[in-house]
Amino acid sequence: MEETYLIQYNGMLYRHPRQINQRGFTYDEAISYIEKKQWKNARLISIKEEIEKYKLQGNPMDKGLLDSKVYDYETWRKAYMDNNINGIRLPIYINTNEEYIEELENIYKKYLFEINKPAFAYEDGLVSEVENTCKSIIGIIKMLIKGDAFDAESQLKDMIEKFSVHPFFVNDLDKSYSFRGIAPYIDLQKKGHEDIYREMRTQELSFFRVRTKKEIVKNDISKLTHIVHLPYEMRGNASNMRFSKVGCPCLYLGTTTYVCCKECGWDVSNEEMFAASFVPNEQGKKLKILNLTISQALINGIYHKSIDNPEIMEKLQIMMLKIFPLVIETSFSVSEKNREIKYEYLISQALMKVINEIGIDGIAYLSMKGKDEFQYPQGVNLALPAWDITEEKQYSSICDAFCISLPIKFCQQDAGAKKSYINSVYKKINRFGMENYISKTDVDGKENYYGDTKYGKFDNYLVSQPLNKFQS
């Protein structure tokens, strides 16, 4: 059987131009095609060798019906079209620090196996770059465990700077995918959905923050200063959390009150919950946000080779594949209590210092308190570090970037006159009269339209309250 080839040139793959019973080039055909196009440095890829290398299996039913060249090409093509990754579901739940690095290494091996296939193998340097990133992250963790923060942060800085120029990963809060989806990105949109994107892009964003207290405790939670981050004089009380640590307060916000109450572990049986809405003002809209709300589902759904003009989508998917090892690392939940060092927080905490050095104000990420990765958009958190607080300036200027309602105690209030961004944009019924799946989320173990839940109604109540300007 005569061997057939693909031609790789300038990042693209070419097969024989015939439209029926497609196949690869014979050697002579490939050389003639390259000479005709005057392509220098074009490369031949043996389809037979690719089938053997990746252990590809064709459809046995087709083998006797198709010419061998056509059959081999079809076997390869099906593998090339499979640009999904599988088995990397987030969050990742483990029990102890000791399991952490071993489990992270195991997941990285699985991830590298998933991307080392024809769908991604022809992207120059992708597999080796992702492999190096995984190794670097493991090394950074080990450095941080030993207390070598300087070198660890330097490597993290280099890693983040590669993505900071891409608006999908670092953008203004008001244009961030984490909160407005693909509405700000015209090149990623489907035709015929302009009205939906316009609404997603123009509706006022709303965030929330909650505080809880024991019912028997009488301390006051009624002022704006009670619902923002801890002041400088109380910085020693800052908890060791995913994106903040003792001595370094952080303003944590969520896209819903539900994700906020899950994050703070609200004990409904003996605690009261107070909440406020945070609406970004002109200053807030311009905050630079690093988008880590990347999931396996997003990577798989963002790009298909069958669509028209897929180059932009393909490049974005490749970039997501490159940053995903960092997302994986920051997506662990460890159940062990009373640990002096929480290994799964080390890189996240170092990231907060790194982003401050390169002009990024905060990080958006999916909650680790949810059931699975399908938490977008109701389960998105925003962490904004308060680096600029001093004895003379108790509160960060980051608080000035929002108009804030006074804290209100949760008691299943009636829905307000306005709707939160999530409830306004992600409606129960879509324009085709069908249930909108993305508008549903798991609340207390039940899958419901979020706007119908007690938390969704509370969100609407909060955004209907008067807003106040915070002055740090």
- To the nearest whole percent, how much of the chain has pLDDT over 70? 98
Contact status, residue 182 vs residue 233, Cβ threshold 8 Å? no
285-318 burial by CB neighbour count: b if 16+ within 10 A, else e?
eebbbbbbbbbbebbeebbeeeeeeeeebbebbb
Residue 367 in tokens: 């909650």
- To the nearest whole percent, how much of the chain has pLDDT over 90? 76
Cα angle 209, 210, 216; round to 5: 165
Contact status, residue 362 vs residue 381, Cβ threshold 8 Å? no
pLDDT at 4 over 70: yes
Residue 11 in tokens: 């990042």
Cα–Cα distance, 15 to 117 (Å, whole number)? 18
* Listed range (41-45, 63-67, 149-153, 303-307) with the worst mean pLDDT: 303-307
Amino acid 166: pLDDT: 94
Half-sphere exposure of 470 (CA within 13 A, CB side): 29
Average pLDDT along the chain: 92
Tell me, letter by letter, the H, E, C secondary structure of 71-135: HHHHHHHHHHHCCCCCCCCCCEEECCHHHHHHHHHHHHHHHHHHHCCHHHHCCCCHHHHHHHHHH
DSSP 350-386: HHHHHHHHTT--EEEEE-SSSSSSTTTTTTEEEEEE-
Amino acid 2: pLDDT: 85
Partnered with residue 365 across adjacent β-strands are 381
Cα–Cα distance, 198 to 195 (Å, whole number)? 5
Instruction: Indicate the pairing of strand 288-291 with strand 362-366.
Output: parallel
* Listed range (226-230, 289-293, 298-302, 411-415) with the worst mean pLDDT: 411-415
Which H or E element spans position 441?
strand 440-443
Q: Where are the strands (E) in 235-373, listed by range?
A: 250-254, 271-280, 288-291, 332-334, 362-366
Amino acid 445: pLDDT: 86
Amino acid 148: pLDDT: 94
Summarize the confidence of residues 455-466 as an average pLDDT: 96
Per-residue pLDDT of 240-257, as tens digits, reads 788 877 788 999 999 999
Q: How confident is the model at residue 133 (pLDDT cuts 50, 70, 90)?
A: very high
Summarize the confidence of residues 23-48 as an average pLDDT: 96
Amino acid 77: pLDDT: 96
pLDDT at 304 over 60: no
Cα–Cα distance, 275 to 206 (Å, whole number)? 13
* Listed range (164-173, 213-222, 444-453) with the worst mean pLDDT: 213-222
Per-residue pLDDT of 180-239, as tens digits, reads 999 999 888 888 888 999 999 999 999 999 999 887 767 788 899 999 999 999 988 877
Per-residue pLDDT of 260-281, as tens digits, reads 999 999 998 899 999 999 999 9
Amino acid 303: pLDDT: 57
Per-residue pLDDT of 347-395, as tens digits, reads 999 999 999 999 999 999 999 887 778 889 999 999 999 999 999 999 9
Residue 119 in tokens: 């769908």
Four-residue CA torsion sign, 71, 74, 79, 82 = negative
pLDDT at 466 over 80: yes
Cα angle 265, 270, 273; round to 5: 55
Q: What is the number of other CB atoms lying within 10 angstroms of the CB of residue 57?
A: 10
Q: At residue 464, what is the residue type?
A: S
Residue 97 in tokens: 């620090």
Per-residue pLDDT of 76-96, as tens digits, reads 999 999 999 999 989 999 999
pLDDT at 309 over 80: no
